[in-house]
Amino acid sequence: MTDDLPYARRAAKHLGVPLDVVTIDSGRMADDLAGMVAQLDEPIADPAPLNVLYISRLARENGIKVLLSGAGGDDLFTGYRRHAVTHYERHWRRLPAGLRSGVERATAALDQRRPLFRRLAKLFQGAGLNGDERVAGSFLWTQESRLLGLYTPQFREALGREAASAPLLDFLRPLPSSVGPLERQLTLEQRFFLADHNLMYTDKMSMAVGVEARVPFLDLELVEHAARVPIGLKQRGRIGKWVLKKAMEPYLPHDLIHRPKSGFGAPLRRWMREELRPLLGDLLSENSLRRRGLFDPGAVQRLIAQNDGGQVDAAYTLLSLLSIEIWCRAYLDAVPAGGS
């Protein structure tokens, strides 16, 4: 992951503004995970809300009650890695589906503990799919078959035939065929990932300490203008937000604008091996899972072992299971997350 701090310091110096640095160790972030889920009122499996909380808390301590957030830039103008993948897919989409599926299986068999192999596996996940199924599949962290294998028979029966990708596919279905894959992807970003995820946690975690986070990228006139910008001006080869970056070149140094992208997350994969291991052993223990009745204890333990051995990259799937159990204890059982 790219280090943001040198770029932040350079930007602050260029603009002549003060820079406050929030220093948080990963152990503290792991300890705060249960409180984060309770604050969000729903089991969001993403450590990024903790970053919003810490930044907002420091702002409040400094007497700042309003912050500006960059949320929406990637969702309107592209910028996520999956957008570049979708942009280039047209060059190999002509290959037979069987060959593409073979590439998917080959990359999935690589050691997922190595970042390069993990990214290759993510790149080709769902490579054998076509059309909207491929577009929707780019948002999924794990395959539907693996999810189904984690459910207890009773939970599977309660869910019926509902698939995790169904809401995404339902939303895409009315769009005309003239809307291309990348535009369809941005439609899903704005309807689901932005509205139900990024904006939700940004609002709730900032307001938890009495700070309002405003989102200038989502000004109505800018959103309407972005919808009219041709997709070729948004994603230009590997460069996302191309038109936005070009517009900013008169105001910021070139290396700040065209820097490598960095996520707003945390070292989650290491947490699963170290800081979160005790919580994993408690909340996802056999007794805990059997009491809850949602996930099969044997399947969950196999997933943990496969994640440890590099057969799969299941860090976010395991975080999802943890978050669900934390939420259930906080809101269904009224038992603290660390309790048994």
**pLDDT tens digits for 136-193?**
988 988 888 888 999 999 999 998 888 888 999 999 999 999 999 999 999 999 999 9
Q: Count how many domains the chain has.
A: 2
CATH code assigned at 17: 3.40.50.620
Evaluate whether residue 182 is within a structural domain: no
Is the domain of 284 the same as that of 325? yes
Evaluate whether residue 133 is within a structural domain: no
Is the domain of 247 the same as that of 299? no
Q: What is the DSSP string of 158-226?
A: HHTT--TTHHHHHHHTTS-TTS-HHHHHHHHIIIIIIIIIIHHHHHHHHHTTT-EEE-GGG-HHHHHHH
Element (H, E) at 145: helix 144-150
Lowest-pLDDT choice from 230-234, 270-274, 286-290 = 270-274
Is the domain of 247 the same as that of 273? no
- Residue 162's CB: how many other CB atoms inside 10 A? 9
Is the domain of 276 the same as that of 248? no
pLDDT at site 340: 46
Is the domain of 272 the same as that of 297? yes
Evaluate whether residue 107 is within a structural domain: no
Percent of the chain having pLDDT more than 70? 97
Is the domain of 308 the same as that of 249? no
**Higher pLDDT pick, 262 / 2:** 262
If DSSP codes are grouped into helix, strand and coil, which group holds residue 236?
strand
Among the candidates 257, 276, 303, a domain finishes at 257
CB of 287 within 8 A of CB of 87? Answer: no
CA dist 29 and 248 (Å) reads 34
Is the domain of 11 the same as that of 71? yes
User: Of the candidates 295, 33, 274, which has an alpha carbon nearest to the alpha carbon of residue 158?
Assistant: 295
Please state, rounded to an integer, the average pLDDT across all residues of the chain.
90
CA dist 272 and 281 (Å) reads 10
Is the domain of 308 the same as that of 250? no
Is the domain of 206 the same as that of 240? yes
Is the domain of 223 the same as that of 278? no
**pLDDT tens digits for 45-73?**
999 999 999 999 999 999 999 999 999 99
**pLDDT tens digits for 188-219?**
999 999 999 999 999 999 999 999 999 999 99
Evaluate whether residue 290 is within a structural domain: yes
Whether the per-residue pLDDT at 324 is higher than 90: the answer is yes
If DSSP codes are grouped into helix, strand and coil, which group holds residue 151?
strand
Domain of residue 251, residue span: 5-77+199-257
Average pLDDT over residues 97-118: 86
Q: Which residues pair with 212 in a beta bridge?
A: 66
Number of H helices and E strands in the chain, helices first, is 23, 2
pLDDT at site 265: 67
Whether the per-residue pLDDT at 338 is higher than 70: the answer is no
Evaluate whether residue 286 is within a structural domain: yes
If DSSP codes are grouped into helix, strand and coil, which group holds residue 67?
strand
Evaluate whether residue 302 is within a structural domain: yes
Is the domain of 279 the same as that of 328? yes
CA dist 232 and 263 (Å) reads 24
pTM: 0.88
Among the candidates 212, 236, 257, a domain finishes at 257
**139 contact partners, CB below 8 Å, separation of at least 6:** 82, 165, 168, 188, 192, 193
